Amino acid sequence: MKDTDSIHKKLQDMCNCFATNDPLKEMSILKDDTNKGEAAVKWLSLAALHGVNNNAKKVSIIRTAEGNVRVTAEYRKTELPSPGSDVTEGIFAAVREITHIEGKKGKSALALGIRDSNLDLRVKLKLKDGKEKVVLEFPR
């Protein structure tokens, strides 16, 4: 029977499956896995879990032309890639729709469900002098 699950679905399933494991320990034994496709998705899920568990700002994997691989994680403030103008417009629209913030500025709580837990964010939206800003504040 052919496997019809998407890679995204497999990634989410593996995040849930390995949520209570030690991601670094699991990652260290993956290079010996014989099913390279499944190992790749498992590694991605473990990297995501490690990032969440350790408040990482970024996890990078770099492969040189010679095939050398280097993986790093950053645990400090960093600038994220821009989503671009069109996507940003959609982000602002989505935030306004989700939070029901109308007008030039406002604040709202946003609860996110993650596995069997939740995360409460504080969302701020501000429009001033043609400049629009959305801030997601994470709990401390």
Q: What are phi and psi of 109, to 5 degrees?
A: -85, 150
pLDDT per residue as tens, the chain (140 positions) = 555 678 888 877 888 888 889 888 888 888 788 888 888 888 887 877 777 787 776 777 778 777 778 787 777 565 555 677 778 887 878 888 888 888 889 998 877 666 777 667 788 888 888 788 888 776 66
Cα distances from 30 to residues 26, 64, 92, 121, 129, in angstroms, run: 7, 20, 39, 34, 52
Task: For tokens 């500025």, name the residue.
Answer: 105
pTM, to two decimals: 0.55
Domain residue limits, the chain: 7-74, 85-137
Q: Write out the two tokens for 54.
A: 């350790």
